[in-house]
Chains A and B, each alone.
Chain A
Amino acid sequence: MSALRLASLLAAGLVLVSVLATVYRVLDVVGDPTDVLGLAAVIIVAATLGARLFGVRQAAITAGGLLAVGLGWYLAELPTENTFALAVHVEYVLALLSGRSILEIVNVEQWLLAVTPAPVFLTWFLALRHRYVLAAVAGGSAVGFVVLTGDATLPVATMGCVGALALLGFGTLERAGGTISDADVVVVVLAVAVGASLSITLVPQEATMTYSPGVGFERATEYATEGTLEADLLATNDRVRIGGRTELSAETRWTVESDRERYWRVGAYDLYTGEGWIRRPNSIAETSVRRAAAETVTQRFTAESRIATVPAAWRPIGVEGIDVRTTVFRGFEPIGSLQPGESYVAESRVIDPSPSQLRRAGDSYPETVTSRFLQVPDSTPDRVAQAAEAVAGDAETPYGTAVRIEGWLKNTKDYSLSIDRPSGDIADSFLFEMEAGYCTYFATTMVVMLRTQGVPARLAVGYTPGERVGDDTWRVRGYNSHSWVEVYFPEVGWVQFDPTPSQPREQAASEQFPDVETASDSESDTGENSEESGSGPTPDAGRVPGWVPDPDSGGSDPAGQSDATDTRTPIPADDSGPTLQDPAINAPSVDRPDRPGWERLLLGSIVVVGLLAGVRRSGAFGRLYRVIWLRWQPRSDPMTDLTRAYDRLEYLFERVHRPRRAGETPRQYFEAIEADERAMTVRRRYEQARYAGEVDPAAADRAVALADAVVAEHVRFVVAGPDSV
């Protein structure tokens, strides 16, 4: 196999690696990713055998067959009735291509097992059969698909596209009968492409439209400023983006009139990818039996700026006044956006279970809950589970576990908006490598820790109550956007927890927006985490909203307020959770330098090869060799030494004076350029040796020494031998 053929096959391999890496990453989030590696190996072996046995047409038919069989099996396994409704599937494919992640597909593991073999088989087969352009098309289509769904990260997508480009280049050369040395242009261009792709932004960065199945195309509303916490949490209604440094926005969003102070919830998310949250579509209606006391709370929300969310207290049962769609987990999405002044009324059934109720709830979770809300990516490090276990300590019930974890996070980690986004798993990094973070980090970590302990939990996003501006009126601003935790208890339902330390959070907001009135009085309350519950001495000031358990106040009723309408949740008595100094968890994070991912290593090696090829093409290697050759003469036998000594001098004089002309003898030449006595000596010895056929070693040594000396006078950095003059 020629080197060029090998390069072509490596290019095809690069495309396949890109596709399989994306598939692996997706499968890692939802299940066990090693299956896909085994499948890929089988497919590649099959394609290698097939390339020897049958032709391109049969391969295309085989690939088509694989795809058809796979999709048929997948569709048959779908739990819905409209399996064969073509329009629905077309809509879902369009949604995927418009940026919805593959993770949102129902039964995504089966779907991936069904559709991955065909393009892998076809690409490898075609490359083995020297049909490089077709291989680039086959593999490139698969790469293009995962790029459009947004599941391919930039390095992986670069690998796929540069691999396809390499297939074009090497393939053309191979079919034209070239050799690997003709390929240096290709390699240089590839290296430039890699570097440019990772560093240059060419495409527009703002989306103008969205597509949703059942809805069609809509203008993308951009109401939240990029880069703010609010945008990360609420801008897209199907995912939560966890960023690094973030900002708060002070725009007023809502005026809320409500009998009860609650968090105004926008939605929840169940799928944790390690880097963010995605909501999986759900075709099974959620049911939960409620025994806890419930009352209906009516809220009126008035939009104060253009907005496209519909918050409501948990657990909402209806929204009136605007057109909405229900998203899973009882969230709402407006059809169109709300203009300032538009308002709606939401009705919610509010529950306030007591700790004893929650403790008694047990852990027999329905399958609909365990199948969705215990997911953590397969690649989550074990130490996360170990830490969660250590923090939970000897808690006997899920409720105790939840309380312990919430309290521990609140006490151990600091609040900060200016952090660097970690490169690994968010929960793992927050636990072991970061000292501070903001609400998304706290909430994500708590959910993950609970899930590792078998407690179903999910992330909720929305707004904190906001600034109390009247008896029953709150003003909600951009910086009130928040994320917290919902934990499932059998026969109770979803109960909210908030592991983010609220006082620092409020402080951050007030520092950034000092003109805005916040509940600054709450800072004077001692030792209690208080929500923004208004300004001035009201009966509500300093009270923790009843549905957030407060482990810090060790069992006693805080400062005497109790309201008949708001049932306080008593504190668990056995709050003996781990403290700040627990060594098992607070081991100083090993100061490990961030390992560059394998993607960057691979891409980096391409760039390095390109640089080497470029250098070689420019002749720099040859020149470098010459530079060293002139200055350093390793010794071998006398004849060679003497000849080389002479050659060095001739080369030197060629560069310094002029080349020796054809027909000019060495003597004439040296005399013409007026070489000094040492050079003449070397020349004489050289000529004598050439005609005599033998050389005296001592004479050779001397010649080399003289040559070193002469060269040293004209250039720098001569490596002189031991006998140098």
Chain B
Amino acid sequence: MMKPTRRGVVVFALAVTGVVLARLFGPRSLDAVAVPAVVALAAGALQLALAADPSVRRRPLSPTFPGDDHTVSLDVEGGHGVVTLDDAVPEGAIASDPTATVLAPATVSYDVRHEHRGEYVFGPTTVRVHDVFGLFQRTTTAATERAHLVYPPVHDVRERDVLARWLDRGRSTDRQTVSKLREYVPGDSPRDIHWRASARWPDSLLVAEYDADNDETATIAASAPAGAADPMAAATASIAVALLGAGVDVEVTVRDGTASDRMAILSLLARTDHGRPAVGDADITVEAHRSGTVTVTADGRETTFEAMRASRAVGLNSLSEQTDKSDRWTEVIRQ
């Protein structure tokens, strides 16, 4: 439904005032005020009535880690006239400027940062179409809801006593028998790349999976009381990523479910809330406490996660470093 904007009301009031003052004290040149105002109002209403509503689509959002800036983009297409978008930013997200005025077709982007993990739903977007003078507007809502996952922060795990059993084995694994070959996925350890097999297939890298790996899967059970889910998730994610990076299969169980590969584990941990998993015993137990400390028990030994981790949260950087190294290897191969 077309409605006048504040500007439109003011212009209309100007025209009315002109007529009233002319009636009171004489016309003077008040036609020059009233007539253009009426012309602009008529033209604006006509333009808006003829303008089609634009379609607004949100570009996909890839998961991020806390503290990282990512860009939310909306594509505006079709329609005429001036379009103002107002994106609904979920709570907990710090957005730079979710409102913008553009002429269709255009793309509106703004930066967002999240401080905590979770599933954030962006949208819907309020779309206001104006005429070119800004006198009338029509408001619709574009269904652009999309969930965005923020993984828990992954810290570099330095102190490895508690996990020594799995990590050492991962390093000293006999790598003679290959149980299967699969394509390289960013995040795989570069040690697992089977160079000879990869040389046969240009444009691809193959990763070998070994027998010796298959036997044991490290199971992690994580629990947390209300309010301590974040430290629990961070600790579990860090441990799981460290193990996966060492070539160990991991299975993470929390109250909400179980996951085995890296993406699934991170997604699960992004969403999970406090609670206790249903599984009985696990190789590694991660337990968060109300104070915020996280106890990690494995192989009979117990320690806190703070003691295990590096002083700074590495998160995406460490993973991307690994990825970068892999890419460099990729370049070498391809040349």
Contact = CB atoms under 8 A, between A and B. Distances in A.
Contacts of B47: 185
Given A154-B31, A193-B35, A196-B35, A168 B133 contact: yes
A202 B38 CA distance: 10
Interface stretch (A207-215, A552-560, A669-677): A207-215
Contacts of B43: 185, 189, 192
Contact of A203 (B31, B36, B82, B102): B31
Nearest to A98: B25
A272 B329 CA distance: 93
B32 A208 contact: no
A612 interface: no
A202 B35 contact: yes
A526 interface: no
Nearest to A168: B133
A204 B132 contact: no
B36 A162 contact: yes
Nearest to B36: A193
Contacts of A182: 103, 132
A529 B23 CA distance: 45
B40 A208 contact: no
Contact of B27 (A177, A186, A200, A205): A205
Nearest to A210: B25
Nearest to A205: B27
A176 B35 contact: no
A150 B32 CA distance: 12
A377 B47 CA distance: 47
Contacts of A133: 7
Given A192-B43, A203-B22, A147 B133 contact: no
B134 interface: yes
B332 interface: no
B28 interface: yes
B26 interface: yes
How large, as a class, is the contact surface on chain A?
35 or more
A157 B29 contact: yes
Interface string B128-140: 0010111000000
Given A99-B26, A185-B47, A203-B19, A172 B134 contact: yes
Contact of B39 (A168, A177, A196): A196
B36 A196 contact: yes
A176 B36 contact: no
A208 B102 CA distance: 47
B5 to A, nearest CB: 11
Interface string B19-61: 1011111111111111111111001000100000000000000
Nearest to A173: B132
B40 A154 contact: no
Nearest to B80: A185
Contacts of B24: 98, 207-209
Contacts of A350: none
A197 B25 contact: no
Contacts of B27: 201, 203-205, 207
Contacts of A172: 82, 130, 132-134
B133 A165 contact: yes
A177 B102 CA distance: 6
A640 B1 CA distance: 54
A530 interface: no
Contacts of B106: 177
**Residue of A182, A185, A201, A211 with highest tally of chain B CB at under 10 A:** A185
B133 A186 contact: yes
Q: Most A CB atoms within 10 A — which of B22, B82, B102, B132?
A: B132
Contacts of B82: 172-173, 176, 178
Contacts of A291: none
A202 B23 contact: no
B18 interface: yes
Given A160-B32, A172-B134, A150 B26 contact: yes
A189 B19 CA distance: 21
Contacts of B18: 203
Nearest to B82: A176
B67 to A, nearest CB: 31
Interface string B86-129: 00000000000000011100100000000000000000000000
Contact of A208 (B7, B23, B35, B36): B23
Nearest to A175: B101
Main secondary structure of the interface of B (DSSP, over half): helix
A203 B34 contact: yes
Contacts of B83: 176
A613 interface: no
Contacts of A144: 33
A380 interface: no
Contact of B23 (A196, A203, A211): A203
A200 B35 contact: yes
Contacts of B35: 193, 196-197, 200, 202
A207 B26 CA distance: 4
Contacts of B21: 148
A175 B102 CA distance: 8
A161 B14 CA distance: 11
Nearest to B83: A176
Contact of A165 (B25, B30, B34, B36): B36
A161 B33 contact: yes
B132 A203 contact: no
Contacts of B28: 99, 147-150, 152
A158 interface: yes
A153 interface: yes
A153 B39 contact: no
A26 to B, nearest CB: 15
A153 B32 CA distance: 9
B235 to A, nearest CB: 46
Contacts of B30: 147-148, 203
Contacts of B132: 169, 172-173, 182, 185-186, 189
Contacts of B40: 165, 168, 189, 193
Interface in A82-104: 98-99
B77 to A, nearest CB: 15
A626 B155 CA distance: 68
A209 B26 CA distance: 8
Nearest to A154: B29
A177 to B, nearest CB: 6
Contacts of A186: 132-133
A208 B21 CA distance: 10
A200 to B, nearest CB: 6
Contacts of A99: 25-26, 28
B23 A177 contact: no
Interface string A121-158: 00000000000010000000000100111101110111
Contact of A161 (B22, B36, B102, B133): B36
Nearest to A136: B7
Interface-central residue, B18, B25, B36, by most chain A CB under 10 Å:
B36
A178 B28 CA distance: 37
A165 B39 CA distance: 10
Nearest to B10: A137
A717 to B, nearest CB: 36
Contact of A204 (B22, B29, B102, B103): B22
A209 B20 CA distance: 11
A162 B38 CA distance: 12
B158 to A, nearest CB: 49
A371 B184 CA distance: 99
Nearest to A147: B29
Contacts of A201: 27, 31
Given A189-B39, A197-B39, 7 more contacts: A98-B25, A147-B28, A172-B132, A186-B133, A200-B31, A205-B27, A207-B23
15 contacts: A150-B29, A154-B31, A157-B29, A161-B36, A169-B133, A172-B132, A173-B82, A173-B132, A176-B83, A176-B102, A197-B35, A197-B39, A202-B31, A207-B22, A207-B23
For the complex of A and B, list the 10 residue pairs with the smallest distance between their C-beta atoms, beginning with the closest. A157-B32, A203-B22, A207-B26, A193-B36, A157-B29, A150-B28, A197-B35, A189-B43, A204-B23, A158-B32
